[in-house]
């Protein structure tokens, strides 16, 4: 069924990959710090209670990382979702779950569209779509699913005024 607009939501895979990568690096850094700490402290004070303190410290840091990861995943997934609505004349950038902030840009003067994907984005089929305008300005659609397919859909929508939606 043809429609005169395309509604695009950010890819939840992209948000999970970004958050997971960040917290993985944080966990590796803290683990290295704990290993170094556990090797140095016994040399300074060879008391058995130091090992108990190190274990408790490791446990607290692990729980903090787990809690931060859970909060980050849920906050990014549910409270910071972005939606893009493309019509033949304009594109809207909407953000929010309970309230909504929308900014509309006219597509007059569009010169090109580009797709940028990281290796993980290519594997999980998400990426950034950049729409460039005359005068050097650009509009970034960040972490959208299937950006190459989306590029072709937007081109069809702009040129014909409607697009098929059976594969959404």
Same domain, 148 and 115: yes
Question: d(Cα 38, Cα 66) in Å, to the nearest integer?
Answer: 21
C-alpha distances in angstroms, 53 versus 29, 49, 56, 70? 19, 6, 5, 26
Q: Which CATH number covers residue 157?
A: 2.30.29.30
Same domain, 6 and 86: yes
Cα four-point dihedral sign 7, 8, 9, 13: positive
Same domain, 93 and 160: yes
Q: Given this model, what pLDDT does residue 62 score? A: 80
Residue range of the domain that includes 40: 13-78
Question: d(Cα 32, Cα 34) in Å, to the nearest integer?
Answer: 5
User: Which residues in the chain come in under a pLDDT of 50?
Assistant: 168
Q: Given this model, what pLDDT does residue 70 score? A: 74
Q: Given this model, what pLDDT does residue 67 score? A: 74
Question: d(Cα 88, Cα 84) in Å, to the nearest integer?
Answer: 13
From 28, 61, 78, the end of a domain falls on 78
Q: Given this model, what pLDDT does residue 107 score? A: 84
C-alpha distances in angstroms, 97 versus 69, 130, 133, 139? 20, 24, 29, 22
Same domain, 23 and 52: yes
Q: Given this model, what pLDDT does residue 168 score? A: 46
Same domain, 61 and 90: no
């Amino acid at each position: 069924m043809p429609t005169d607009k395309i509604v695009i939501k950010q890819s939840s895979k992209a948000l999970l990959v970004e958050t997971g990568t960040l917290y993985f690096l944080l966990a590796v850094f803290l683990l290295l710090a704990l290993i170094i700490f556990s090797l140095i402290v016994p040399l300074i004070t060879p008391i058995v209670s130091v090992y108990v303190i190190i274990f408790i410290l490791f446990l607290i840091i692990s729980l903090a990382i787990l809690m931060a990861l859970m909060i980050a995943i849920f906050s990014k997934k549910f409270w910071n979702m972005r939606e893009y609505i493309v019509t033949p004349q304009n594109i809207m950038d909407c953000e929010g779950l309970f309230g909504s902030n929308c900014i509309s840009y006219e597509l007059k003067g569009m010169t090109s569209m580009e797709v940028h994907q990281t290796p993980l984005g290519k594997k999980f089929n998400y990426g950034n779509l950049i729409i460039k305008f005359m005068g050097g300005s650009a509009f970034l659609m960040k972490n959208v699913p299937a950006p190459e397919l989306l590029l072709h859909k937007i081109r069809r929508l702009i040129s014909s005024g409607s697009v098929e939606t059976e594969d959404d």
